Structures are given as structure tokens and as C-alpha cells.
Chain A
Amino acid sequence: MDSNPSSAETAQKSIYVSSEVTNAAKILVVGHFAVGKTTLIGSLSEITPLRTEEKMTQASVHVDDLRGVTDKTTTTVALDFGRLTLSDDLVLYLFGTPGQQRFMQLWEDMARGALGALLLVDPARLEETFPVIDLVERYGLEYAIAVNCFDPAATYSEAEVREALDLLPDTPVVYCDARDQQSSAMALIALVRHLLERAA
């Protein structure tokens, strides 16, 4: 894949995966609302991150008086994702996955074939991470914690994060700046090293 977007022609061609690529891997980037999932994906993706929608049907509390039945409403969930060519024959897709429990159907879809999950955490809103941890564990996904720290001075120590989130001793905890490509790559590296250890 030509990664030099110097001409319009190159940019247009680069929407496609290189013809030698035979293998596609998927890693989920998960976390609560507005934690920085799309930012992290954008800092790593070789394509402009794409957004697509999945429609979810869910029971609504609203009751239609005329028919006297409980309504179902269709919620649209936006999925942001990016792509990264990692070798001549391998591309990696990063899928941002919302952490709400009510999107279980979506999670089943997302978890299938995923190598693991990078779980982004906002240190100012640690409690919002609990339901997300429940979800990754329910779907049997291996994960690493990436503390997205916009302000390093305001953040908790690793020990505090581990204790607050009740993590297993071997669950990696890294600090990252989701806006920075190198920092985001290092967070993914911590995850993949963990996956390799678990696969051993």
C-alpha cells in the first residue's frame, strides 16, 4: 500500500486494501461515551476513519395507549472504525465499540473474530468503566487498560487504577494520549503482547 498521499490519484487508490493482503485482523477499541475511542482510531488509521450505523431494536418504556402494547424502538448505534496495513499481507481493523449494556446484539457481532480489546479509560470517570469491563469479560475478550490522560498531573497512579477497577494482576495498564499516533500504537502493543502471553 502506498502510504504517500501526495497526489489525488494516490489518495483515491488508497481506499482499497493492497491486493497482496490475505489476512484481516480486528481489535476492538472500547470504552464509555466520549472517552476518546474515535480519536485513538483516527491517530492510527491510514484511511480517514469511517462511520457506519447498526440498527438495534429494543423494548421501550413508552406504551402506546391506543394499542395497549409495549413499543419497540429502533436505536441507531454509530460505529467508527479505521484500518492499518501492518505487513504485505495483513491489515488490522480497529473498531470503536460503545460500552452500553443495551447494545448486546452489537457486541456479539463485534466480538466475533476479534483478537482482543483495548479498553480506554477516562481517569476522571473511572466508575463509567465498570459496565464496559463487564461486557468484555462476558464476551471472553482479552483486554488491556489504556488510561487516556489529557492531563497527566490530574491522573491516578497505576496502583490506584488497578484497585479502583479491580483488575487481575496480569491485565496490562498503560497510559496514553489518544491524539498521538506513537502513544496509541504503544497502547496497542501492550495489548498484543498480553494476547501473546495468554496464547502461549
Chain B
Amino acid sequence: MSLLELKDVHAFYGGIEALKGISLTVNEGEIVTLIGSNGAGKSTTLKSICGQVKVTGAITFDGKNITDQAVHQTAAAGIAHVPEGRRIFPRLTVKENLEMGAFSVKDKDVVSQMMERVFAYFPRLKERLRQLGGTMSGGEQQMLAIGRSLMMQPRILLLDEPSMGLAPILVEQIFEIIRELNREGMTILLVEQNAYQALQIASRGYVIQSGEMIMEDEASVLLESRKVKEAYLA
């Protein structure tokens, strides 16, 4: 059954139509990737899902209509969005950043359990609990951003360009963790410019161009497609 479904979604920025009726589904347990060039509408798609952009059309999550729902309600419903540029709270400590991820979790024991789980993925964070988020390196910030989103025990993780600006070795690490999260059952919608790596870990993929979905297929098929190769894997 599909966990997340977008049907004929249009989004406008001022007078410009950023999404021209896109449709997309993510099934439980999948990694789905959305690839495309700069400005194609990848981030806008994620922002539409979490309610940061006003849209027309229908967005359903777990059978419920969440179109234009307030951002904090969508998050509380189980959609964790790791935004582009990581957006760590710079003057909160690592621990406080993680605690904010768990803002909607009432039970303190659950919060500390989740924190231990995050430390299992990212041991680095445990060593730096009292450090201010803004003073960490880019790779550490990305780890914190993903860890923070896991704190809310989401049902789906929306990742916006997690590899951006990271050294190749860190990109490897981040993708490895994404794969591991998925093996443990996390559903993931991954937006990437790094199309080759994204398609390698994804089960299915969508290609977006100028606000329209131009292709949709198994990731392995997209990897072999001449069109994708020429435009995004060159």
C-alpha cells in the first residue's frame, strides 16, 4: 500500500508555476529518489509535502489528506523533512538540537531511547553533545540533521540533497546510513543532484524537469536509460 501519494499537485511561487501537476507515490519500506537538475522542482516537491508551500491537488499520507496541512502538524503526523542545507539550530547544542527533533514526543524515556539509537548510527554526535550546532563541520551537521529527524520517530524521511557540499568519503557514509535506515524499515524519499548514487540505493526513481515528471521507473531501469545517462549521469 502506498504510504505517501501526490496526485496532480500544482505549486506556485508568486506568479510562477513551480510544479505543473506532478504525481508520485512512495510505498512503505521503499527508497524512492527524485532526481533532476537545479530548479526543476525537487525541493518544491518536498516542501509541498510538508506544507511549506501552498498547493492545489491532493497529497495523502497513510490514507489521510494532508494537503495544505500546517507544517508542525504534518511533522507530528510522522513526516520528517531533512531540509536542504541541513538547517541545524546554530546556537543550540547538539543535545538540544536532538531534543527539538523529539518535540512532539511526550515520554522522556522514549526520548532517551531514541537518542541512544541516534548515537548508534552517529557515534560522533555523542562525543559532541555540548557543542553548539553551528560550530560543527558540514558532515557532522548532516549527521545531526538526520539524527534530529529520527528523534521524532517518523514513518517517512524526506531527505533534500543530503550529499550537498560534502567530501566524497562523507557522501559514501551518508548514503550507507540511508541504506541502513531503510534496511531497518524506514521509508525514504530522497531528493538528489547526485543522481548516480541516489539511483544505486533506490528501488524506484522519478525524473523531474521544469516542474513536470518526465520519467518514472525502477531505479535499475533509469540507471540504464540513455536519456537519464545523458542528462544526469554525465
Asked if A and B bind, the verdict is: no
